[in-house]
Structure 1
Amino acid sequence: MISLNLFYEKYPSTIRVHEKWIPIITDFREYIRLFDMLRCDELKSREKVFIIQEYFLEDITIDADAIMALSDFILMLDPADEQYSEEIETPRKKNLFSYTIDYPYILSGFLRDYGIDLETIEYLHWWKFRALFDGLSDDTEIKQRIMYRGIDLSTVKDKEEKKRIARIQRAIRLPAEQLSDYDIGNVFA
């Protein structure tokens, strides 16, 4: 994942495309907006490429390398990491949350745990947002939803517990078309 030590190094504001460091937009809202755009069936691939181009603060050609570099930024991958490789295949993970559907629970979790109002905060770097999101308390509603959505019912032995969890999973399930962060890199493949 990240090889930077973010205690003393700055969050990245550039990504490397064709051996050149290109400044990019880094606010968390813009990447949530990007996920929504990529899920939009009404936009053609060509239109999505034009939108992606807006994330680069210099004029560049959007090609596979540019999309891969932006995907790596979204996934918080550091190309300088010795373990990093463009050949690494990330297995498809089950999506356990949606920024759109779970918005109220994400908002309330940030307010409760950090006192951060995501609606009014002027700026929050994408990587910091992700670190804070991952660090939310296990008893926040969003973390509870993620936990229940991630339970594999085949591993639950007790019949009553399995029924209880299945009932919860049905009540909080996400629509099948949701993209996970890991799907972003494959959108234009």
Structure 2
Amino acid sequence: MNLLTNPAPTTVSIQGAEVPINWDFRASIRFEEMMAGSLPDEEKIGKALEIYYPQVPAAIDQAVDRLLWFYAAGKDSEPGKGGSGNGGPIYSFAHDDEYIYAAFLDQYGVDLQAVGSLHWWKFKAMFQGLKSDNRIVEIMGYRSMEITPQMSKDQKQFYRRMKKQFAIPLPQSEREKLSAIEEALLNGGDVSGLL
């Protein structure tokens, strides 16, 4: 699909029938946040179907395939990764909501709170098109910055400080796991069961 030559879809084809899909950007943001969360995969599938389909189709495998296609705006993508860079996400809709809101308002004059609906594919294109002078783009740059041996000591310190300052908080389950590993290491415990 090409956003320049084709209308953004409001349905997906499942078993030869056009099935309505929740195309508003808020649904896909909820989906991405849910996929990044700690729910078991089986629950994620059920929740994803509920997010995207007003009535969940009987052909579950095809419905999942089509919602993933829709989420990716007709392109290859992996949900819940938040634009990964250097092994970690470079944005989080939950954590960066204020920066993203401000960027859309500043650059496009779009109040994401007031807009009745905005197609996910259009939102995604606008998000990817944010200019470098928006704070969220600057922050994503810090998060994705690779610290290399060629950098000066001052540059390395600066980027490490920025990465720490703008780090996306780990989910509760990850924090608990890291805390348990840290405690085991400090007290001479066995970490093999924690890894």
* 1:148-159 equivalences in 2 (<5 Å): 148-154=142-148, 156-159=150-153
Secondary structure of 2:29's aligned partner: helix
Cα RMSD over matched residues?
2.8
Give ranges in structure 2 of 5+ residues lacking alignment. 173-195
> Matched residues, percent identical?
30
Contact 1:105–1:142 (Cα < 8 Å) also in 2: yes
State the Cα distance separating 1:59 from its structure 2 match.
4.1
Of the three residues 74, 80, 90, the one matched with 1:96 is 90
Higher Rg of the two aligned structures: 2
Contact 1:53–1:62 (Cα < 8 Å) also in 2: no
Instruction: Specify the alignment match of 1:187 in structure 2.
Output: none
Q: For residues 136-161 of structure 1, what are the alpha-carbon distances to aligned partners after superposition, in whole Å with 9 as ceiling and x for unaligned?
A: 11010000011111111126521111
Q: How many residues align?
A: 165
* 1:1-189 equivalences in 2 (<5 Å): 3-4=1-2, 6-41=3-38, 45-54=41-50, 55-61=52-58, 63-77=60-74, 93-94=84-85, 95-154=89-148, 156-177=150-171
> Higher helix fraction: Structure 1 or Structure 2?
2
For the structure 1 residues 159 and 107, does the alpha-carbon distance in structure 2 shift closer, same or farther, using more than 3 Å as the test? same
> In structure 2, how many angstroms separate the alpha carbons of the residues matched to 1:77 and 1:8?
13
1:33 counterpart letter in structure 2: R
State the Cα distance separating 1:9 from its structure 2 match.
2.3
Give ranges in structure 1 of 5+ residues lacking alignment. 79-83, 179-189
1:163 counterpart letter in structure 2: Q
TM-score by length of 2: 0.73
For the structure 1 residues 166 and 75, does the alpha-carbon distance in structure 2 shift closer, same or farther, using more than 3 Å as the test? same
TM-score by length of 1: 0.75
